[in-house]
Amino acid sequence: MKKFRPQPGFVVQAFRFALDPNAVQEAALRSHCGAARAAYNWAVAWVEASWWQRRAEESYGIAEDGLTRWRPWSLPALRKAFNEAKHTDPRFAAWWEENSKEAYSTGLANAAAAFDNYAKSKRGQRKGKRVGMPRFKSKRKARLSCRFTTGVIRIDTDGRHVTLPRLGAIRVHEPTVKLLDRVRAGTARILSATVRHERGRWSVSLQTEVKRDLTRVARPDTAVGIDLGVKTLAVMADSTGEIRTVANPGHYDAARKQLRRASRTVSRRQGPDRRTGQKPSRRWEKANAQRNKVHHRVANLRQDALHKLTTSVAAEYGTVVVEDLNVAGMLRNRRLARRIADAAFGEIRRQLDYKTRRRHATRLVVANRWYPSSKTCSGCGAVKAKLALHVRTFECDACGLVIDRDDNAALNLAALAAACVTGTGVAGDQDTAPAVSKPRGADRKTRATRPRHKAEAGRAGGAALPHQRQEETRDRPQTEALMLW
């Protein structure tokens, strides 16, 4: 599919609303999402059938010219083959007319994207983990989702209903006045709609082309460094020296007692068993729904708190500095995994990324993963070789500074923003040569900063001051400390 490019001055933004469908509409929504899943499974089976056929023919000794032709997996090819098969295939012939064509197009588009990812990953053209062959989607586990790109997609004039193809007008839980006013003023245009069942609730996401004006922040000349943690969710220190602490709400820990009680009730009911084919009882389904409701509430509270935090930061500061944390590696720590997952470090980074780009007046600076923000003294720049995690107070051996560990890290991150602006060889300076990598794959261990010998200082023309002794060490990590995100 051709990638959509917004007009100059416009950006693509999604507006999400919670739906309130009646029983008939909910059944239609589930039917559309099931049709998308069925079309996806059909496409996977149709493409892979030629693969297995060719493999069987090769085992028979058939030459390359006599093998079955490869079946294409592009979206136009899948659409053409599906339109020819839906009239005669017993899996679709009896009911395919009940749903919109967009439901089947959603499944075929997802299958085409899955095969593309598999092919690119196999050729080494795709970043990240290696992607395997597309697998069939289970009716029990697949996420209910369907996308509409054509047809009647609009927000009704009353501001409380959304109209979708073949589904009609569906009531929403919250008013759609903000988007409706933009559409009426001509500063927004709806491109597509995606319905999804998530956290026990149906929602619709309207992808729109919105005119975005330049938004000025409250303090454009101030930079803030954000140090994320478990005990304290975030410690923010700006370039003026002001330090602000954001407490960790701990939504999951607060709900653990309620979750234990709900899980105990579920375990005492007759649940499903795939090995014996046992179906769950009605009491188990009711108890499981109550337990899921607790999980959904915790997720909603966490999302609300993170959005409020990131929105306030992006609206106040001109430069935001965060760390490139290895969240996946941190989750391997069985002692802290639950609290790290509850804090959602990766989600904070993701929200700051798009919210700072949306405002155009705020930039996001990502510190290198190996930058020793906690081990570096914010006063003189001395770097400790080791600093255990249980040590919560930083004590500098050079200047004697005593400061909280998290406050010290946040101050160092805020100082990196100034280094990026002045141009000290950091990433982002276009005219500066990149740092030379260390030979033999040298490790990333932090080197301790030690004062020079008195005799050496005397030969240099006098005793060196503490901040002079640290200049060489401070410049080294800053060479590769920043990445403009």
Rounded average pLDDT over 307-334: 92
pLDDT tens readout for residues 38-60: 999 999 999 999 999 988 988 88
- Do 14 and 157 belong together in one domain? yes
- Do 221 and 191 belong together in one domain? no
Query: Is 311:275 a contact under the CB 8 Å cutoff?
Result: no
Q: What is the pLDDT of residue 420?
A: 64
Query: Is 234:219 a contact under the CB 8 Å cutoff?
Result: no
Average predicted confidence (pLDDT) for the chain: 84
Q: What is the pLDDT of residue 92?
A: 87
244-252, long-range: CB < 8 A, 24+ apart? 246/309, 248/339, 248/343, 249/301, 249/302, 249/305, 250/339, 250/342, 251/298, 251/301, 251/302, 251/305, 251/342, 252/298, 252/302, 252/338, 252/341, 252/342
Give the residue numbers marked as catalytic: 227, 323, 406
Rounded average pLDDT over 238-264: 93
Q: What is the pLDDT of residue 464?
A: 39
Number of domains, the chain: 3
In the structure, what pLDDT confidence band is assigned to residue 63 with cuts at 50, 70 and 90? Answer: confident
Q: Is the pLDDT of residue 259 over 60?
A: yes
Query: Is 353:323 a contact under the CB 8 Å cutoff?
Result: no
* Whole-structure pTM value: 0.76
Q: What is the pLDDT of residue 446?
A: 58
Q: Which of 153, 182, 211 is the last residue of a domain?
A: 211
- Do 17 and 109 belong together in one domain? no
Assigned domain for 75 exists? yes
Cα–Cα nearest to 193, from 149, 135, 250: 149
CATH of the domain at 332: 3.30.420
Assigned domain for 89 exists? yes
Rounded average pLDDT over 310-324: 92
Question: What is the domain extent for residue 115?
Answer: 34-122
Q: Is the pLDDT of residue 231 over 60?
A: yes
Least confident of 27-36, 179-188, 425-434: 425-434
Q: What is the pLDDT of residue 448?
A: 58
Per-residue tokens: 242: 């002001």
User: 399 vs 139, 171, 378, 387, CA distance in Å?
Assistant: 64, 64, 10, 17
